[in-house]
Amino acid sequence: MKSLAYVLSVAAIIAPLAVFAQSCETVATVTTDGTGAPDRYRTGGTYFPVKIETIGADQTLRIAPLSGPYQYVTLHSRTPGGSWSTSYKGNRTEFPGTDPIIAECRQSSNCTHIIVSVNGGHEKYEPVLSSADVQLCRQVAHPHQDLTLDTTWTAPKSGWQIDLPSQWTRDVQDDPNGGTGMFTSQDGNVVVGVTTMTPDQHLEDSALIEAFHSIMFSSAPIVTKEPVNLAGIQGTLHRYNLLIDGTGYWAIAVYLPAAPNYYIGWGIVPEAMMNDRAEDVVKVLNTLRLLDPPKALETRPDAALSVVLLTVGDDARISQAPGYAKTIFQPSTPEIHMFAAITGTERTGHILQQLHYLENGQLAMEQALDVAAVPTGQMIELRGSFLVPTNGWPLGAYRVVLSYEGKELASHMIYVGEAE
């Protein structure tokens, strides 16, 4: 399983996460022009034939989305006479040189090329504007300055523990029914998180993974899915390529079922820094451990509402990437945005979103969400914003609070200060 800059691998016994650096060369760019191939003279897109002898067993054929939606990639095997046959159609973005699709072509005397198309193929393309690079990647040696993990963080109610560098900042919601610990490197380029869910007992693993994916990585293609063992739990690892406002991000999420809870360890790094920083994510996640042994699934009751993720920022896109989250704001900030993900089966009454001004103890703003319309089994995604007062935000500390039926679900501290 390989990424642009790193490989996350599992041994025969399913080992913890491991990483290796890679070097990638772009050999072509494939596109769709938005026409959807209306006639035989307008193909609707471009493709690129990769000579099979150029893909070594130690290399990876990688498709790196550049712009527009990434719906799927199509690989065709081509013969010397020019005949095409479909080898793969799906949303993968990486194909190791040992992959059966490539290995079968390499071993065949009648296969000369692997033809790559995005969002279509063989002169039949989707009516969207999109582009992607076709790359060949090879593992290379890469030195890395080792992190010093000199601090242990414990979330006793959520039931997990992790080791960190002491300089990393911490934003933790610890709740017996779920919460998120988010840890950010001193320079702000590495984000590692641990999310706990206590979901409806009727939800399958696939539904929980999809719920978390829709919150954190909804716009990202899944590069690979692999079995992995972390914190003594056998789970599933997903590798993602994020594209946000034209900037690429490397991301992973490890899904660990440990009834009655469900744990997700995740990390995000700018794609341009993968060679130097993705190893930091993996090293920290490898220290994740659970405090108590998993309990039997049958003992898990229907869950009350609990917050899985609560984040605040000055941009509505905080639901797409932790990079938009903030704790310190300026008095002129137009809006303070809030995003929360909430699990549980209760579907009556209202969730209150409140902004408390701690300098005078007053409730500054309040909004309510009726949860009755959200189907049971689906995660509640809560988005809200607080508009700047006429004279600007008063200086000082605030608390964003979520509550349900008089019970506080979660809160987040922020501060308004003058620019330095």
CA distance 116 to 331: 51
- Average the pLDDT over 101-108 and give the result: 90
Residues 6 or more apart whose Cβ sits within 8 Å of residue 368: 350, 351, 352, 353
In the Cβ-directed half-sphere of 89, how many Cα atoms lie within 13 Å? Answer: 8
Three-class DSSP category at 319: helix
Which amino acid is located at 378 in the chain?
Q
Distances in whole angstroms, Cα of residue 334 to Cα of each of 191, 326, 386, 393: 26, 14, 9, 9
As given in the structure block, the two tokens for residue 143 are 């030195």
User: What pTM does this model have?
Assistant: 0.51
Q: What is the pLDDT of residue 262?
A: 85
Higher pLDDT, residue 141 or 26: 26
**8 Å CB contact between 56 and 324:** no
Q: Which of 221-225, 347-351, 384-388 has the lowest mean pLDDT?
A: 221-225
Cross-strand bridge partners of residue 194: 181, 265
CA distance 84 to 104: 15
Residues 6 or more apart whose Cβ sits within 8 Å of residue 389: none
Question: Rounded to 5 degrees, what angle do the CA atoms 28, 142, 64 make?
Answer: 25
Task: Produce one character per residue of 19-40: b if its CB has 16 or more CB atoms within 10 Å, e if not.
Answer: bbbbebeeeeebbbbeebbeee
pLDDT 10s digits, 105-140: 998 889 999 999 999 987 789 999 999 999 998 765
Q: Which of 31-40, 159-168, 225-234, 289-298 has the lowest mean pLDDT?
A: 289-298
pLDDT 10s digits, 307-321: 777 778 888 887 665
Burial of 234 (0-12, 13-18, 19+ CB in 10 A): exposed
**8 Å CB contact between 151 and 54:** no
pLDDT 10s digits, 154-196: 888 888 888 888 889 888 888 767 688 999 998 888 999 998 8
**8 Å CB contact between 289 and 161:** yes
- Tokens 């090329």 appear where? 113
- Tokens 């991000």 appear where? 249
- Average the pLDDT over 293-304 and give the result: 45
Q: Which of 183-187, 194-198, 206-210, 236-240 has the lowest mean pLDDT?
A: 206-210
φ/ψ region of 356 (left if φ > 0, alpha if ψ in -120 to 50, else beta) reads beta
CA distance 9 to 92: 17
Give the residue from 107, 108, 128 showing the smallest Cα distance to 117. Answer: 128
Q: What is the pLDDT of residue 178?
A: 67
- Tokens 């498709």 appear where? 63
Give the residue from 199, 192, 134 showing the smallest Cα distance to 379. Answer: 199
- Tokens 């019970």 appear where? 407
CA distance 380 to 345: 10
100 prior amide bond cis, ω within 30: no
As given in the structure block, the two tokens for residue 125 are 């393309």
As given in the structure block, the two tokens for residue 277 are 């920083």
Question: Over 90: is that where the pLDDT of 409 sits?
Answer: no
Residues 6 or more apart whose Cβ sits within 8 Å of residue 143: none
- Average the pLDDT over 250-279 and give the result: 84
**8 Å CB contact between 275 and 295:** no
Which amino acid is located at 326 in the chain?
K
Q: What is the pLDDT of residue 302?
A: 52
* 3-state DSSP percent of the chain in helix, strand and coil, to 5: 10, 50, 40
Q: What is the DSSP letter of 21?
A: B
